[in-house]
């Protein structure tokens, strides 16, 4: 046991051991600083990713709103065209009734007769 104690005392007073201990402490400090820098870099990358994600969401929202507005405009145009077509058919029907009232009444009676026959069955 005395030999082990003597060995440890010699190692503790050895200048090389002190230099080695100092180098180990320096490496520990460097690793600590490197860990902090990595943590800061990850935090910065997270902030950048969040910012880019928010921008992407804003762009997607703007594009979706534009598409909805375009679809609404197109639906309005289709509705307008359908209304114009219905109005045109109504006008044509009104002209046909005014020009040939007897033929119109005969056609209406024929259609009524066909509907009555169909419902009877």
pLDDT in tens, 44-103: 999 999 999 999 999 999 999 999 999 999 999 998 988 988 888 888 888 888 888 888
Residue 38 has pLDDT above 70, yes or no: yes
Q: What is the mean pLDDT of the chain?
A: 86
State phi, psi for 15 to the nearest 5 degrees. -65, -30
Query: Which residues are CB-contacts of 97 (< 8 A; sequence separation ≥ 6)?
Result: 104
DSSP output for 43-66: HHHHHHHHHHHHHHHHHHHHHHHH
- Rg (C-alpha) for the chain, rounded Å, is 46
Q: How many CA atoms lie within 13 A of 61 on its CB side?
A: 6
Give the pLDDT of residue 103: 85
Cβ pair 74, 67 in contact under 8 A: no
Tokens, residue 101: 């009232």
Lowest mean pLDDT among 9-13, 32-36, 103-107: 9-13
Give the pLDDT of residue 1: 64
Query: Domain limits of the chain?
Result: 2-89
What is the rounded distance in angstroms from the CA atom of residue 31 to the CA atom of residue 36? 9
Q: Quick check: pTM over 0.75?
A: no
């Amino acid at each position: 046991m005395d030999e082990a104690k003597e060995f440890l005392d010699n190692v503790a007073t050895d200048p090389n051991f002190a230099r080695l201990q100092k180098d180990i402490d320096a490496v520990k400090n460097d690793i600590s600083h490197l860990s902090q820098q990595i943590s800061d870099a990850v935090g910065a990358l997270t902030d950048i990713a969040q910012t880019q994600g928010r921008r992407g969401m804003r762009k997607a929202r703007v594009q979706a709103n534009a598409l909805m507005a375009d679809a609404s405009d197109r639906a309005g145009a289709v509705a307008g065209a359908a209304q114009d077509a219905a109005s045109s058919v109504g006008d044509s029907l009104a002209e046909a009734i005014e020009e040939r009232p007897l033929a119109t009444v005969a056609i209406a009676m024929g259609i009524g007769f066909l509907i009555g026959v169909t419902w009877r069955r």
